[in-house]
Amino acid sequence: MARILIVDDSPADLKFLETALGTRQHHVTALGDPAQVEAVAEQVRPELLMVDVVMPGRNGYEVVRGLRKQPGMENLKVVFVSSKGNETDVKWGLRQGADDYLVKPYTPEQLHSVVQRLIG
């Protein structure tokens, strides 16, 4: 059972991720406000961060850069989950520190495959 933090400004996307990941007995923390990520991550100590790219106030790239500066988050696995899915977007996301990039819409099977590969 892994600790997974998901960050997305869309309640529907949060619910989908939370439900799909919860079926595999992961401990999932859902967050709709990217400004709270560091504080929540400090408490939860996630092994995996799944984060949307386009969010108001603070985008996913900024979220990842902020978390990477926190002690103990150096080995955090990161997956960008975004509708921005052209080849340039995916390459940029990986350059920004993501371990993988999941393009919306996706299936629960695709989600589970990414999670299994990154954290077992």
Q: What is the pLDDT of residue 23?
A: 78
8 contacts 60 by C-beta, under 8 angstroms: no
- Give strand pairing partners of 5: 29, 49
Q: Is this model's pTM higher than 0.85 or not? A: yes
Handedness of CA 59, 82, 87, 116 (dihedral sign): positive
For residue 29, the cross-strand partners are 5
- Give me the domains of the chain, ranges plus CATH numbers: 3-119 (3.40.50.2300)
pLDDT tens by residue, the chain, 120 residues: 899 999 999 999 999 999 999 877 899 999 999 999 999 999 999 999 999 999 999 999 999 999 988 998 989 999 999 999 999 999 999 999 899 999 999 999 999 999 999 998
Give the separation between CA 120 and CA 53, rounded to whole angstroms. Answer: 24
Nearest 10 degrees: Cα torsion 43, 49, 54, 59: 50
- What pLDDT was estimated at residue 68? 87
